[in-house]
Structure 1
Amino acid sequence: MTLPNFMIIGVAKAGTTSLYRYLDQHPQVFMCPMKGTNFFGYEDARNWHWTDEGDPPLLRNFPVRTFEAYEAAFAGVTDEIAIGEASPQYFRCPTAARRIREVLPHARLIASLRNPADRAFSGYLMRIRRGEAAKNAYEDLTPEASHVKEGFYYRRLRRFYDLFPREQIKIILFEEFKKEPVRVVQELFEFLEVDPEFVPDTSARHNPAAVPKSRLLNRFFFHPTVIRTAKALLPGRAQDLARQIRQQNLKPPPKFPADLRARLLQLYRDDILQVEALIDRDLSIWLEDIREVA
């Protein structure tokens, strides 16, 4: 039986797709071909009752629902040293940490954290890109909004720190990853005990922020049935072509309104300080932003 010995647990909109792609380049690393099995969060998603955690996750984002299917997802493992998966939903599912601990107590956990205000705005842009109903940023990014609630990291991180030894948890900051991707990924190689000298190709950016030129066309591209059908019927090259066409319908996103960003940063301030103490990392890169916009 082959199961992962590490996983990227989140957070969403903090570079997890790029991390997944860059780690997958290493010859000593096996990444589950399916990004986002979200297996350990499925029971939470199907019985969501944590209103303070935000809106319930969409069940379609939890494709692996049995232990047998989860094990099968790693059938391609050969002689790799580090075996991993990336499921950002684990960070927000309240019992995922406990479920992971029960099955994989020695797993190493990677969390990418991003300035929570910027993460919330990126989540808002993602909804627009997918063709979902969205108002303007001021109306959608209120303290009650799910994207905003997901930026309170302390309680979510604490679940993992309460159950796993600190040496099994690696925190990276999205802002540092964006600035020096090779250095950060090589630090992850070292954490996973594979050759840290391997240099990944980090030239490609995955899931960059963008909004659609045509919302109608974009709604078609992101319709779940269309995506499932394309994956089932189209060969790999045709799927790549479809993705390229979808990308051509995107344009640069609007800027984050400075006053709204300032409001959200003040909302997150105390939580940021708690996270800083919990992970014993300098988060002045976020706190300086607070002072700049205050």
Structure 2
Amino acid sequence: MLFAPTDLCVALWSLFVQSFQVWPMNLPSFLVIGAAKSGTTSVWSYLKQHPQVFMSKPKEPNFFIFEGVKLPYYSGPDDEEALIRKLYQGTITDFETYQKLFQDVGEVKAIGEASVRYLYFPQAAERIKKYIPDAKMIIMLRNPVNRLYSQYVMNVRDLLEPLPLSEAITAEDERISKNWDCAWHYTKLSSYYNQVKLYLDLFSPEQIKVIIYDDFCRDTIGIMQELYRFIDVDDSFIPNCSKRKLSGYWPKSLVLHRLLKEPNVIKLTLEKALPKKTYNKALKFFQKSNKGVIPPIPTTVKDDLKQLFRKDILNLQELLGRDIPWLTDEV
């Protein structure tokens, strides 16, 4: 049987398309978009436990921020290699690689990823609208003072913050002018009103779910089942929430902490001299022994921050149409 010219063209075009389509066209149906240091790793873990949900690995591909750029796109107090290792590990900058994260999702009802920087960057919202306009988005918001301090503690722990807290906050605007990464945008990241408003303006209200961290801590199972309903999976599933993820700590000795965390001659010598198992065991022992209790926020800094965030919290309450306990909470 002979092909008509139009049939032949259609058949050839079909073969051409199939030759490039090496994986299914899967993309997220929902995203956890922030805020950083607001329980998102725990939420990612509990979503991942659900048999009808696929969550990407890495947890934070950051694609909708960094599409098409060369990393590290922003600067900081460390060299480029260290910044990539500490801040951009797992970050994906091209659509083809991003799409491959979801090629083996299996038989699930919801596909997601959790990049907590998305809430802060306007270009992320615009690209989400471009690539997955019908996706649902989960926003986790924590008391802005606590969120800021948790980020500061993490930066100290990761050897990314050399300044005391008050000086780091004072240096924020200067650092931003020098194109430092948002990891040092302490007060800006904690100012939620404009960040949330952008997403509510760009997407329909049914696509956005805002969770207050206080509610999540008070009723973790209930909030997770609320999120399961939101992403259209079985809400009767109960995740194992017995262990929270990424509990913070403060190094007892910053000098020892740096020796244990960073490459150096002492570690290299011991690694060569000791059996691998012995070396790793010793390293873990000293790391655990050096973990201390996080000190409280200095009172004057705490009071200044509470006053700084007051107007933003009031605006956020009006935007969300609900009371938020942060104005009276002790932090």
Instruction: Give how far 1:95 is off.
Output: 0.9
Number of equivalenced pairs: 271
Equivalent residue in structure 1 for 2:54, among 30, 35, 50: 30
Instruction: Give how far 1:98 is off.
Output: 0.5
The one-letter code sitting in structure 2 at the alignment partner of 1:273 is: L
Partner residue, 1:135: 163
Partner residue, 1:21: 45
Partner residue, 1:154: 193
The one-letter code sitting in structure 1 at the alignment partner of 2:296 is: K
SS at match of 1:78: coil
Instruction: Give how far 1:282 is off.
Output: 1.7
Q: Write out per-residue CA displacement over residues 209-267 of structure 1, whole angstroms, 9 at most, x where no aligned residue.
A: 2112343453466559x9xxxxxxxxxxxx99987875554222001223321210111
Change in CA separation of 1:269 and 1:134 when aligned onto 2, cut-off 3 Å: same
Equivalent residue in structure 1 for 2:322, among 274, 281, 286: 281
Instruction: Tell me how far apart the structure 1 counterparts of residues 262 and 59 of structure 2 sit (CA, whole Å).
Output: 18
Larger Rg: 2
Instruction: Tell me how far apart the structure 2 counterparts of residues 41 and 158 of structure 1 sit (CA, whole Å).
Output: 18
SS at match of 1:83: strand
Q: Write out per-residue CA displacement over residues 186-229 of structure 1, whole angstroms, 9 at most, x where no aligned residue.
A: 110111111111111111111122112343453466559x9xxx
SS at match of 1:90: coil
Instruction: Tell me how far apart the structure 2 counterparts of residues 168 and 241 of structure 1 sit (CA, whole Å).
Output: 48
Instruction: Tell me how far apart the structure 1 counterparts of residues 253 and 58 of structure 2 sit (CA, whole Å).
Output: 29
Change in CA separation of 1:82 and 1:217 when aligned onto 2, cut-off 3 Å: farther
Change in CA separation of 1:222 and 1:76 when aligned onto 2, cut-off 3 Å: farther
Structure 2 portions without partners, runs of 5+ = 1-24, 76-82, 174-183, 268-279
Partner residue, 1:5: 29
Instruction: Tell me how large the CA RMSD over aligned residues is.
Output: 2.9
Instruction: Tell me how far apart the structure 2 counterparts of residues 41 and 69 of structure 1 sit (CA, whole Å).
Output: 14
Instruction: Give how far 1:76 is off.
Output: 2.3
The one-letter code sitting in structure 1 at the alignment partner of 2:113 is: E
Partner residue, 2:226: 187
Change in CA separation of 1:220 and 1:76 when aligned onto 2, cut-off 3 Å: farther
Partner residue, 1:258: 299
Partner residue, 2:176: none
Structure 1 portions without partners, runs of 5+ = 50-57, 227-238
Alignment of 1:38-187 (within 5 A): 38-43=62-67, 61-62=87-88, 63-142=91-170, 144=173, 146-187=185-226
Change in CA separation of 1:243 and 1:40 when aligned onto 2, cut-off 3 Å: farther
Instruction: Give how far 1:268 is off.
Output: 0.8
Alignment of 1:212 with 2:251, yes or no, is: yes
Instruction: Give how far 1:134 is off.
Output: 2.6
Q: Write out per-residue CA displacement over residues 36-62 of structure 1, whole angstroms, 9 at most, x where no aligned residue.
A: 10000114886669xxxxxxxx55544
Q: Write out per-residue CA displacement over residues 4-32 of structure 1, whole angstroms, 9 at most, x where no aligned residue.
A: 10010000000111110111111011110
TM-score normalised to the size of structure 1?
Answer: 0.83
TM-score normalised to the size of structure 2?
Answer: 0.74
Change in CA separation of 1:245 and 1:98 when aligned onto 2, cut-off 3 Å: farther
Runs of 4 or more consecutive aligned structure 1 residues displaced over 3 Å after TM superposition: 43-49, 58-62, 142-145, 216-224, 239-249
The one-letter code sitting in structure 1 at the alignment partner of 2:185 is: S
Instruction: Give how far 1:74 is off.
Output: 1.1
Identity %: 39
